[in-house]
Structure formats: C-alpha cells, structure tokens
Structure 1
C-alpha cells in the first residue's frame, strides 16, 4: 500500500482522528489474513471497540496499541503507516514521515522508516521538551532498541533499571519489559532510535 499518510498525534486523554490511510491499512491487513475483529482483538489484547474505531478512522491509537496490532498481524508499525522499504530501495519523503506521538509541550516521535514485518527494523527520531515523558508497557520478546542522544539528556528506564544517557552517548535496551523515555533536564532532548523485533 502506498497511500499517503497524514500525521498522527497522541495527546494523552484527547482523541485525535487517525488518518484514512492507517485505518484502511489495518482493515486491509486484517481482511487479507481472514481475521475477524473478535480474533484480532484476542490476539492483540486490544478491545474490539478500539479496533472498530481505528478501522472507521475515528480513533487515534497510541504507539503501544499500534505495536500490539502490528504484532498480532505479523507486520510492523511501519507497514501500517506505509513507511516500509520496497526492494531494493525506497524513498520516504519528509512530508510523508508520520508523527506517531506528540507530547503535551510539543515534543514529537517520528517514524522515519522501517522494514516490513514480522522481523522488522524501525528508525525513529524523538524530540522531547523538559518535563515530557513516554511510557510503553513493553514489546514482544526479542525486541531491542538502540538509542543515540544528539541533544540534551535522556532518562531511560527499562523495568527497574534506569540510565542517564547524555549528549553524544548511546544505549542498548531489551524492551520486552515495560520502559520509558523522559526529559528530566532543562534543555530540549533529541535522540534517534532503531528498533529491531526478531521472531525467527
């Protein structure tokens, strides 16, 4: 699918509208696999009501929900938002890079590019303003994240372990466990992140 995707935002309790392309992608992948909404709900651990709203284009799912739905369908989040690479090379234009999280102070998480699932690699760029944070309940087993801080300092927490990652430094995390990213400093935080999910 090569439908252009509008940018998404996640704004806490506010519900924004997910793009028609994302809703069409979820519905298309589900129908290709001949899955009912009930079965996808069971596999993903996401309510049937939420799936109905996603497919109608009237809900804006969080990154965590998109990850669960993608894993249940055996695809990547990049497949859902149409930033996967075709063989041998594929350009994702700047205006087609979706914003999948927006902090309450204007921070963003952009999915720059990704490979097709289920064994997938994604490249993200995060910007967080002081006081912003993002938490994830965890990804499937054998999910790894590689992070590099370009500006500011990242507070990375994985389960009970917490790391301070200053500018110019990198970190590696196994993120099947609950984890979070936060900017507890006084300057804007910018970091890039590669996510690898390995099933085979």
Structure 2
C-alpha cells in the first residue's frame, strides 16, 4: 500500500508569512505560538498539532486546507504579496507616497518602491549611508532630482536618473500631472 507524502506545511507557512511581510516574532504574537516552535515547523523539524496549526493559519489568513494544498504543490512557485500587506508611507503633507515593493528579507541591500508625487510635491531625503545610489525611472509625469550643492536634472516619461544618495537629495514634481516612478535604492556598505 502506497502512502501519500506528508505535506510540508512548514515551507508553505514560511512562504505565506513572508508574503505578508511578517517576521517570526510578529507571527508568534499573532498566533500565540512560540517563535521557536514556528521556526521548528518552518524548518520541517516539528509537526504541529491541529490546534497549533489552526492558530497559525488564522494568523496567516488562510485555511488549513489552503495551506496543505500549497504545501503539496510541486515545481516553481510564485510568491504573491497582497496589496493590504504592502507597506505604504505617506509624507506628512500627503504630497508623496512610497509603496515598498521589495521583499522584507532583501531590504538590507536593495529596496525598490513605487513613488507617487502630487504636482508641487517633493520627497526630501537626508544622506543615506556611504556608497548608496538611487535609480529613478519615470513612468508618468515629470521629475527633477536635486542634489545637495545645487546639481539637478529633469526627467520625462521613460527616463532613468542614477545618482549618489549618500548626500542630501530630493525628488520634485514640477509638472502639472502626478509623478509616478520606480525608485530603486542600492545601499552602500558602512
């Protein structure tokens, strides 16, 4: 008699947790399951009880059936981050919005954002760590990047500006339409 393989719910759980942008401590708090137990389950070293699995799936916003089905899937996987789990930062004057698009685990080296700036708005940044560069690709509207010391360049739809971000800098919308751009921040090493 052939037995079906036990689904690896740990891998599916980890994938779902990351898609929601949660770390183990945050999931532990939401699920009331210890961080160490969650880690053991994700690594495949522990088999959760029904109650533990129920608490975890409720915290992850999926059913046990959905998690089991995901864990049995074979081949390449596509990770989906739901819009509600995507971090959004709004400037105090509400003229600029940054939508974080990168996975949380990559934020130490590279971050990428959708940048939305209303007409007349600007995103001002202090100097980032030494060696950091930004890459701004305009997809709608017009942008001006100004560096500390008076250096500036304008960009139109389709243009990409690359510049040092280890000095004070700002991204301005001097046009009459909303500026939409992708902003990639490649961090230097301290």
TM-score, structure 1 as length reference: 0.52
1:139 to 124, 128, 142: 128
- Number of residue pairs aligned between Structure 1 and Structure 2: 121
Distance across 2 between alignment mates of 1:187 and 1:140: 32
Whether 1:128 and 2:122 are equivalent positions in the alignment is no
Distance across 1 between alignment mates of 2:92 and 2:178: 12
Q: Residue 151 of structure 1 corresponds to which residue in structure 2?
A: 140
CA contact (8 A) 2:96 2:123 kept: no
CA contact (8 A) 2:109 2:186 kept: yes
Instruction: Flag structure 2 segments of 5+ consecutive residues without an equivalent.
Output: 1-13, 30-76
Larger Rg: 2
Whether 1:175 and 2:153 are equivalent positions in the alignment is no
CA contact (8 A) 1:153 1:165 kept: yes
Whether 1:111 and 2:100 are equivalent positions in the alignment is yes
CA contact (8 A) 1:158 1:178 kept: yes
Alpha carbon RMSD of aligned pairs, Å?
A: 2.9
Deviation track 1:136-194 (CA, whole Å, cap 9, x = no partner) reads 11100111111100011101112221111111111101100000011111111100011
Distance across 1 between alignment mates of 2:83 and 2:158: 25
